[in-house]
Structure 1
Amino acid sequence: MGIKKESVEKILAAVGGKSNVYAVTHCVTRLRFALKDETKVDKEKLEEIDLVKGSFSANGQFQIVIGQGTVDKVYEQLIRISGLDEATKEDVTNESSKKLNPLQKAVKTLSDIFIPILPAIVTAGLLLGLNNLLTGQGIFYDNKAFIDVHKEWKDLADIVNLIANTSFTFLPVLIGWSAVKRFGGNPLLGIVLGLMLVHPELMNGNNYGSAVKNGTVPHWNLFGLHVEKVGYQGQVLPVLVSAYVLARIEIFLKKRIPDSIQLLVVAPIALLVTGFLAFIVIGPVTFGIGNFITNVVVGIFNHIPIIGGLIYGGCYALLVITGMHQTFLAVDFQLIASVGGTYLWPILVMSNVAQGAAALAMMFVMKKDKKLKSLSLTSAVSAFLGVTEPAMFGVNIRFKYPFVSAMIGAAIAGAVLAVNHVRAASISVGGLPGFLTIFPQKWSVFFIGMALSIVIPFTLTFVFSKFKKGASKDEIFQSKMANNQ
């Protein structure tokens, strides 16, 4: 699809022109601007541009939803027209971070660390789903797995499982690379740090609980100081904190050691000091904190699951708006490593699907508006496949009641899943294909939840549109304005 130069010029003008832009980059669906003054943004003009499906401000960035497959072309055109230099996500992050409070900075940091490793995690989740199909009992045959009947497939399933589990087995390596890079250090040292924490010479952290009960936890004896010789497979906090320490030590040393001997001194000292700190202090402390977080989440979903499901399902879309949803990735990973599955990710799927259902309903509510009808359909499909920004910011938040309808539907579906203890073995595509990572024994409940997350928002959007007095004219006016190019 050709991108109209005039449309891109209008986007630049609507954000205050070139002089108002520090830096601009893009992600899968959005243009991300670091602006000097967001009050100069003309949102009404943005709404009128055919390419724009929505806009919002989060984490110090002004973001314009364009859509997957189109945003990169718009970005290229924008760079050519404006004469701005191409910027990396780090450039935009550095500029936008100046506007953030400490909590927002912390959330943004976690987002910057986890988003780059998501492709590996999502791929692993899909492959684990394939493994579930082959090894799950009762899917194709009563009380038997596919590989029990077709034994020639057993080794294939074993290889698939090995490939899928790699990302989770070596999760500290992925996090170490991304975190050290984010904190300004050498990402290769982050990889070494992650490998260090899951070294085969260490006792596998997954066996720590039983080893404690049996009194068989191995130790190092450092001049009378006993240090547990335990790995941190699947753990998040130990490698996050260790990565920060490693990067700070590396930066400190580079500023004080001559360039001629940095190669011989900086990395060895940084890794040695961080390694000792990781095994003696950081690892044990953060391991305890991670277990505490796990116990709290598991306790809620075991004792008052309906409350946990309602709150997380209903509020997840709000977390997406603020960007705080990225912090829960760490909790998902912690739950997967500690108890073998996460309660949170299946509810995330309900929220995404609910947003898609509400957007789809708007295609019929505003059926006389061709642009909105098309936007509602394409954004709904995107949400059903796990990318909710076009639906949320292009349709649902714009008209408000679809967004509320989606939150209600997600809350009810989340409660149903939580009460029935539905868990995912990993995270994957947060949409309709998400059932693949759910433990097969809970597929029926998961599909019931998914049906609720579609039917309830779809129905409520229609109901609210009928009883929303005085709103329809405003909405029709906004839609007509969007068509008056």
Structure 2
Amino acid sequence: MSEFTKDVASLTEYVGGKENIVSVTHCATRMRFALKDQSKADVKKIEALASVKGSFTQGGQFQVIIGNKVSIFYEEFIAYTHLSEATKEEVKAQAKNNMNLLQRALANLAEIFAPIIPAIICGGLILGFRNIIDSIKLFEEGTKTLVEISQFWNGVDSFLWLIGDAIFNFLPVGIVWSICKKMHVDQMLGIIVGITIVSPQLLSAGALMSTAAEDVPYWDFGFTTVRMVGYQSQVIPAILIGFAFVYIYRFFKKHAPDAISMIIVPFCSVVPTVLLAHVVLGPVGWAIGNFMCDVIMAGFNSSFGWLFGGIYGMLYPLLVITGMHHAMLPIDIQIAASGQGLFTFPIVALCNIAQATAVFAFAYIHKKNKAVQEIAVPAYISGYLGVTEPAMFGVNLKYFYPFVGAIIGSGITGLIAMSLGVLANGVGVGGLPAILSMQPTSMLYFGILMIVDVIVVFIVTCILSKTAFARKYEDENK
């Protein structure tokens, strides 16, 4: 008998039997099920299994936290049930049957931006490193930067901008490509459409604000003109243009005769899309994006910005539970690309640290319980590195009082972060590594806030553990 034989058999029974499983796959730590009827899953019995460290439902998927040995567990599960192996994409697609319209929209948005996030993180880290060497005056009695006293670092600074410029200015190309990939249309044509809205021939939408109307270049069609304006770094225009291309492409793919499809479809989908992009979708998307950014920034920049930061810090974990945090990503990217600095990411990173610390406190409270340590230690380590699902769903929500401790801590540090004006260059790696994404003037403040976050959450969680409120959840989960 292998390590997981008994638990594999029990899990199969407790999720409603093999006949209730539409498909199953796994990620780094979790089994991910698309179930026909999620109500048949017996959560209490599942979480009582020795191999299971928690469970939750998100994105229409029933997810069971196994830990680092999930791949071995998955192989035994497939061998026991004789189910065919599924990809994450297949499970996600089938799980959408369990989601409402809003949940599906958020899931689709998350899937579009998922392939782009590594590039955004890379760009944020590059900006952060460049700011350290070219903006912080650490040398010659605080009068010069590293770039100013070293030709080598001056060259590094200039070279790294090549990568940063590619990531942020040409971001719309990646967005249009990702939409095409998700919607299963020609990805190369999608890339071409994306390039046509960021071409160096075009005046950037940002530069348009400081350019006199008579100096804006345009295409002259005789009876009308179209301004030659690009949408570099713009997220909302790219989303609108990407989806327009998808539906125009599908229309011609469906109706074009097979004999001339290879000629008709590319030409008749690209040209109208690019025309729509520059006449309607680009300007409209730019206006929508600016409005959304202005609303968010108005809240943070208002006289009640400190309160806004505190509320955001307390609410963000709730957004994660519902999946609503995915809706914030395009706005965060848009604000970051504008060069204004990002208020939200420091608060998000502090939320991650708070969730990890709440689990750390829970592990300390139960330091003599070996079963708790097996669940909690990997959860808070991954949480401090920016992956909070095992911490949030495996411990904090299950026992609830650690979750309360976490949101109190992130609310307090979010309030302080806003009061101090802590800014990030962009979206980066959450948790402790987030300090690398902060603007130079914010790094010291953020480092102090990380310490404050850990201390506050640890103390509050330990205090809450002594209450009847906490004992109720402890007893329910024994």
- The TM-score range, normalised by the shorter chain, is over 0.9
Q: d(CA) in 2 for partners of 1:222 and 1:395?
A: 63
Aligned twin of 1:129 = 128
Q: For structure 1, which segment, 246-255 or 358-367, has the greater mean C-alpha deviation from structure 2 after superposition?
A: 246-255
Deviates more, 1:45-54 or 1:260-269: 45-54
In structure 2, relative to structure 1, the CA distance for the partners of 1:116 and 1:74 (3 Å cut) is farther
Q: CA deviation at 1:131?
A: 2.5
Structure 1 residue identity aligned to 2:144? K
Is the contact made by 1:412 and 1:452 (CA closer than 8 Å) also made in structure 2? no
Contact 1:177 1:191 in 2 (8 A): yes
CA 1:215–1:143 in 2, change beyond 3 Å: closer, same or farther?
A: farther
Per-residue Cα deviation, 1:177-199 (whole angstroms, up to 9, x for no partner)? 11122233222222222112111
Deviates more, 1:104-113 or 1:131-140: 131-140
Provide the rounded CA distance (Å) in 1 between the counterparts of 2:77 and 2:132.
45
Taking the aligned partners of 2:363 and 2:194, their CA distance within structure 1 comes to: 48
Q: CA deviation at 1:61?
A: 1.6
Equivalent position of 1:301 in the other structure: 300
Quote the residue 1:27 is aligned against.
27
**Structure 2 vs 1, CA of residues 80 and 260 (structure 1 numbering), >3 Å: closer, same or farther?**
farther
Distance 1:151 1:355 in 2: 43
Secondary structure of the structure 1 residue equivalent to 2:201: coil
The alpha carbon displacement at 1:110 in A equals: 0.6
Q: Deviations over 1:431-459 (max 9, x none)?
A: 11111111111112212222222111111
Distance 2:340 2:202 in 1: 21
Aligned counterparts of 2:475 and 2:368: Cα–Cα separation in 1: 9
Residue matched to 1:283: 282
Tell me if 1:361 matches 2:350: no
How far did 1:256 drift? 1.6
Deviation, 1:215, is 4.9
Aligned to 2:4: 4
Shift, 1:262, TM fit: 1.7
| Correspondence list, 1:427-466, <5 A | 427-466=427-466
Distance 2:234 2:472 in 1: 53
- The structural deviation recorded for 1:313 is 0.7
Q: How does 1:318-333 map to 2 (within 5 A)?
A: 318-333=318-333
Relative to structure 2, which stretch is displaced further, 315-324 or 82-91?
82-91
Q: Is the 8 A contact 2:175 2:235 kept in 1?
A: yes
Match of 1:178 in 2: 178
Shift of the 317–162 alpha-carbon distance from structure 1 to 2, 3 Å rule, reads same
- Distance between the aligned counterparts of 1:369 and 1:251, measured in 2? 58
Cα distance in 1, alignment partners of residues 237 and 460 from structure 2: 44
Report the equivalent of 2:263: 264
How far apart, in 2, do the equivalents of 1:181 and 1:3 lie? 39
Pairing 1:79-158 to 2, within 5 Å after superposition: 79-138=78-137, 142-158=142-158
Query: What is the CA-CA distance between 1:474 and the residue it aligns to?
Result: 5.6
Residues 128 and 440 in structure 2, CA contact (< 8 A), matched pair in contact too: no
Pairs within 5 Å for 1:332-481:
332-468=332-468, 471-472=470-471, 475=474, 478-479=477-478
TM-superposed CA distance for 1:138, in Å, is 3.5
Question: Shift of residue 139 of structure 1?
Answer: 5.1
Supply the AA of the counterpart residue of 2:332.
D
Letter paired with 2:107: K
> RMSD in angstroms over aligned alpha carbons?
2.1
Verify the 8 A CA contact 2:382 2:388 in the aligned structure 1: yes
| 1-structure distance, mates of 2:379, 2:327 | 25
Shift of 1:241: 1.2
- How far apart are 1:343 and its partner, in Å? 1.2
| Number of the residue aligned with 1:236 | 235
Which amino acid in the other structure matches residue 319 of structure 2? Answer: L
Contact 1:435 1:446 in 2 (8 A): yes
The match for 2:313 is 313
2:184 & 2:122 partners in 1: Cα distance? 27
76-85 or 358-367, larger mean C-alpha shift: 76-85
TM-score of the aligned structures, taking structure 2 as reference length = 0.94
Q: Give the alignment of 1:30-41 within 5 angstroms.
A: 30-41=30-41
Q: Measure, in 2, the Cα distance between the counterparts of 1:89 and 1:261.
A: 36
Q: Describe the superposition over 1:362-397 as per-residue Cα deviations: whole angstroms up to 9, x where unpaired.
A: 011122211212322221111111000011011111
SS at match of 1:210: coil
SS, match of residue 25 in structure 1? strand
Q: Distance in 2 between matches of 1:473 and 1:261?
A: 70
Distance in 2 between residues matched to 1:390 and 1:3, nearest whole Å:
22
User: How many Å separate the matches in 1 of 2:15 and 2:324?
Assistant: 25
* CA drift at 1:281: 0.5
Deviation of 1:140 after TM superposition, in Å, equals 6.5
Structure 1 position 286, deviation (Å): 1.0
Alignment of 1:188-199 (within 5 A): 188-199=188-199
| 1:12–1:125 Cα change, 3 Å | farther
In structure 1, distance between residues paired with 2:131 and 2:51: 40
Q: Distance in 1 between matches of 2:55 and 2:211?
A: 52
Deviation at 1:65, TM superposition (A): 2.5
Does the CA-based 8 Å contact 2:15-2:42 persist in structure 1? yes
| Letter matched to residue 132 of structure 1 | N
8 Å CA contact retained: 2:399, 2:473: no
Specify the SS of the correspondent of 2:209.
Answer: helix
Give how far 1:70 is off: 3.5
Separation in 2 of the partners of 1:139 and 1:11? 58
* Structure 2 contact 399–477 (Cα < 8 Å) conserved: no
Q: How far apart are residue 360 of structure 1 and its match?
A: 0.2
Give the secondary structure class of the aligned counterpart of 1:211: coil
% same residue: 39
Local SS of the residue matching 1:62: strand
Distance 1:165 1:362 in 2: 44
Post-superposition offset of 1:224: 3.0
SS of alignment partner, residue 22 of structure 1: strand
What residue in structure 2 maps to residue 161 of structure 1?
161
Aligned residues: 475
Of 355-364 and 83-92, more deviation after overlay is shown by: 83-92
* Residues 228 and 8 (structure 1), Cα distance of their counterparts in 2 relative to 1, 3 Å cut: farther
* Compared CA separation, residues 439 and 394, structure 1 to 2 (3 A): same
Tell me the alpha carbon deviations over residues 15-48 of structure 1, each in whole angstroms, 9 at most, x when there is no partner: 1222111122333443221110011101112212
Mark the CA change 1:250 to 1:309 in structure 2 (over 3 Å): closer, same or farther: same
Q: Using the TM superposition, give the Cα deviation of residue 422 of structure 1 relative to its aligned residue in structure 2, in angstroms.
A: 1.6
Q: Give, in whole Å, the separation in 2 of the partners of 1:15 and 1:132.
A: 51
Instruction: Decide whether aligned partners of structure 1 residues 186 and 345 sit closer, same or farther in structure 2, where only a CA change above 3 A counts.
Output: same
Moved more, 435-444 or 332-341: 332-341
Q: Deviations for 1:393-451, whole angstroms, at most 9, x for unmatched residues?
A: 11111110110110111111111111222221121111111111111111122122222
**Shift >4 Å, 4+ stretches:** none
